[in-house]
Amino acid sequence: MNTPANAHRPVVVVDFGAQYAQLIARRVREAHVYSEIVPCTAPLSTLLAKDPAAVILSGGPASVYADGAPDVDRGLFDAGVPVLGICYGFQAMTTALGGEVDRNDRSEYGATELAVARQDSTLLRDLPERLTVWMSHRDSVVRAPDGFAVTASTAHTPIAAYENRAGRLAGVQFHPEVLHTEHGQRILEHFLYDVAGLAPDWTAQGILAEQVAAVRAQVGDARVICALSGGVDSAVAAAIVHRAVGDQLTCVFVDHGLLRAGEREQVERDYVAATGIRLVTVDASRTFLDALAGVTEPERKRKIIGREFIRTFERAAAELVAEACSGSDGSGPVKFLVQGTLYPDVVESGGGTGTATIKSHHNVGGLPEDLDFELVEPLRTLFKDEVRLLGAELGLPPEIVSRHPFPGPGLGVRIIGEITAERLEILRAADAIVRAEMTAAGVDGQIWQCPVVLLADVRSVGVQGDSRTYGMPVVLRPVTSEDAMTADWARLPDTLLSRIANRITGEVDEITRVVLDVTSKPPGTIEWE
């Protein structure tokens, strides 16, 4: 992967297959310390080549004494690097250092009371003597390695935490990274600040300065293009590049006709006013609608939208390249393409090289891999919450920085049935009401997103005035999430839901029913298609 443009030595999170590995890395970042993730299969030489400031061993589903279970190279503890073991990482650390792990008589899952055994503990200092932590284990450490002091226990786990202050080593059986653990963030910060001796200097201002310098060094005097979607990732990525190289950047905004009410205007007016970016808007709405006529199958819709987006962007890019080649504006050649790749994308794709492949889930259906551009990825080392912080630091409008995720294919995946101009207008009207009411109620920051889905091929009897009607239902899908990998339905106030339903059925004649989706993910997805 691209080397991050910063002078920060990383805290390396070794992923043993835990569902919380990315969460650990995010919690470290929230403590203003830079972190990276490596798989447990990476050799020790690869890990140490990163010059880690500290190492955190994550949890995982295996048993340390099972055949083929991942282990920790003993050499890690001879390298002088501070190490924190969590759950499975705690047990693997124990085994590597000569302690003992065995099957517990009773498993511990969920909220568990922890008793702090030593008030002189560095990791658990200044915490209550008893606190609730989140456990998920059947195996337990039954004998700590030599030189380690046991610092906490539970009713069924005598060794729930230990530390070796001289060696700057510590471990916990519970999960400090999850919100269910009381004072979990303080525990992690005690490791980072007090055990590892790190400074909280990973800040938005520093990140921005580093990324701007990196882009400037990479691009030189060449020209750059960006497929701007209006979402926070592409908006922040483009703004960073513009801060670095100014008018060498041109953004292309493809209006495929599947946007929500006001989104094109928001990009053309508010975003351009805030950044001064040169923007080329391509109105291809008629082309997309013609291509989608008569199509109802969800995957076919997505492929058509992706195909048309690629064609539209390629035409716009070709025009910009031709303009540059003509020398009419005196600038250099178009050599670079901005992509809003985030760190979770890098981790989930196995690390990548950052030089050739354009991931298929970016933008709309993915840009073709044979576009002859080098990638510029200023967000490649960042999580979504850090991207939002950078957006605020760059002075982007709050409506863009705080924008809920919106799928690249737009409303095309929120109409169940054929996509038509009439149905798009109906859904836009309902969606605009939902967004306005949620903003007025102050709940935008409490949810991850709220898709509004039009069941266009379903008809439901209603009564409007003195007449019976036969209209369409819409589904509200408000969800809470941290990373969209899992989600739960949001418990919005009844009064808010009532206002939304009354306004939609009163103001959008074609809609006779408003329903609420209360399915979690899994088993349901966030979007319906």
The amino acid occupying position 193 is Y
SS3 of residue 131 by DSSP? strand
Which three-class secondary structure string do you get for 261-301?
CCHHHHHHHHHHHHHCCEEEEEECHHHHHHHHCCCCCHHHH
Active-site entry in 108, 163, 177, 182: 177
Under DSSP, the state recorded for 444 is G
Question: What is the CA angle 106-109-114, rounded to 5?
Answer: 85
Is residue 87 annotated as a catalytic residue, yes or no? yes
**CA-CA distance, 402 to 391, in Å (whole number)?**
9
Catalytic residue among 87, 226, 251, 450, which?
87
Look up residue 173 and give its DSSP letter.
S
285 close to 254: Cβ distance less than 8 angstroms: no
Report the b/e string of 98-131 with b at 16+ CB within 10 A. ebebeebeeebeeebebebbbeebbbbeebeeeb
In terms of DSSP bridges, do strands 54-57 and 83-86 run parallel, antiparallel, or are they unpaired?
parallel
Q: How far apart are CA 312 and CA 206, in angstroms?
A: 37
| Cα 408 from Cα 302, distance rounded (Å) | 9
Q: Taking the mean position of all CA atoms in its chain, how far away is CA 17?
A: 18
175 included as an active-site residue: yes
For residue 86, give the nearest of 59, 61, 54, 55 by alpha carbon. 59
What is the enclosing helix (H) or strand (E) of 233?
A: helix 232-245
Choose among 101, 172, 175: nearest CA to 138: 101
Dig out the tokens for 207 from the structure.
Answer: 């990140």
The span from the CA of 111 to the CA of 182, in Å, is 10
Cβ neighbours around 6 below 10 Å, total: 18
Catalytic residue among 137, 175, 183, 190: 175
Closest CA to 4 of 42, 43, 40, 50: 50
Cα–Cα distance, 40 to 96 (Å, whole number): 14
DSSP H/E element including 151: strand 149-153
Query: Which residue numbers are catalytic?
Result: 87, 175, 177
